[in-house]
Amino acid sequence: MSTDTATKTPMVLADNVHKSFGHLEVLKGIDLRVDPGEVMCILGPSGSGKSTFLRCINHLEKISAGKLWVDGALVGYQERGGKLHELSEKRIAAQRRDIGMVFQRFNLFPHKTVLANVIEAPVQVKREKKSEARERARTLLDRVGLADKMDNYPSQLSGGQQQRVAIARALAMRPKLMLFDEPTSALDPELVGEVLDVMRGLAQDGMTMVVVTHEIGFAREVGDSLVFMDDGVVVEAGPPRDVINSPQHARTKAFLSKVL
């Protein structure tokens, strides 16, 4: 790792991170760094390990080897065949409260209204007062353009609206880091823009974000960095314009020629 930026605690720092499922090695030595306030976009073919990497950051998976720090805390560290060092369950739970995740599928509670979806975690997990959680939910729903849908149920909303509720719900926990896993991939094309607009607004407000997406335009305009992953490794990373306009590796070129 370089030392020139060592004064700033990275939000995510991966040092040779490996992850295997049985004999299948999915992450084969990921190195990357996300600084506070940075928007990193991750591109790559299906099966390259993008979701697995996000899931490791969010403690949904445990790394098999290497070192992973999230918000300054060493989450997992295991030398090959050696002892595994892990954060305590309590610290993991605390970290998960600080990380928001938005999936391709919106995963809203179908039997709860939009407002109830947004206040669920702050009230249940953070023990916030209902009145205060509601007040904040209104502000967040206003921010994602859905103040008038508070009392609706998810099934009454379009996919784009549901995804915006999912973003508001994640923001209700006041995350330090937002992870997006192909947040617009399940949407009809005409609904993609409204979700990307909300994400662009978040980025402008300084949110630290890691976004797995195939939306090259978004990566170019909003991303501070772009990572191209293939077959469990970071093939290429850099400023989005550089990676998109002059990819250095054949694999990156081949992938970009398909999605551009």
Q: Convert residues 49-88 into a mask of x (bound to Mg ion by CB under 5 A) and - (unbound).
A: -xx-------------------------------------
- Compute the least distance from the CB of residue 44 to Mg ion, in Å: 9
CB nearer to Mg ion: give 77 or 180: 180
Contact 179, 100 (CB under 8 A): yes
Task: Output the 3-class SS for 149-192.
Answer: HCCCCHHHCCHHHHHHHHHHHHHCCCCCEEEEECCCCCCCHHHH
- Compute the least distance from the CB of residue 186 to ligand ADP, in Å: 14
| Residue 40, beta-bridge partner list | 210, 225
CB nearer to ligand ADP: give 90 or 258: 258
Contact 35, 5 (CB under 8 A): yes
| Residue 15, beta-bridge partner list | 67
CA distance linking residue 53 with residue 60, whole number of Å: 10
CB nearer to Mg ion: give 50 or 136: 50
- Compute the least distance from the CB of residue 51 to Mg ion, in Å: 3
CA distance linking residue 32 with residue 220, whole number of Å: 19
- Nearest-10 crossing angle of helices 189-204, 159-171: 20
SS3 23: coil
CA distance linking residue 199 with residue 222, whole number of Å: 9
CB nearer to ligand ADP: give 24 or 260: 24
- Compute the least distance from the CB of residue 250 to ligand ADP, in Å: 19
Given Mg ion, ligand ADP, none, residue 213, with its beta carbon under 5 to 8 Å by kind, binds none
- Compute the least distance from the CB of residue 246 to ligand ADP, in Å: 24
Q: Measured between alpha carbons, how far apart are the two ends of the chain, in Å?
A: 32
Given ligand ADP, Mg ion, none, residue 109, with its beta carbon under 5 to 8 Å by kind, binds none
Residues 184-223 interacting with Mg ion (rule: CB under 5 A): none
- Nearest-10 crossing angle of helices 114-124, 159-171: 20
- Compute the least distance from the CB of residue 47 to ligand ADP, in Å: 4
CB nearer to ligand ADP: give 154 or 232: 232
CB nearer to ligand ADP: give 114 or 219: 219
Instruction: Name the strand (E) or helix (H) holding 51.
Output: helix 50-57
CB nearer to ligand ADP: give 52 or 162: 52
Interface ranges with ligand ADP (CB under 6 A):
21, 24, 26, 44, 46-52
Q: Convert residues 17-56 into a mask of x (bound to Mg ion by CB under 5 A) and - (unbound).
A: ---------------------------------xx-----
Binding site for Mg ion (CB under 5 A): 50-51
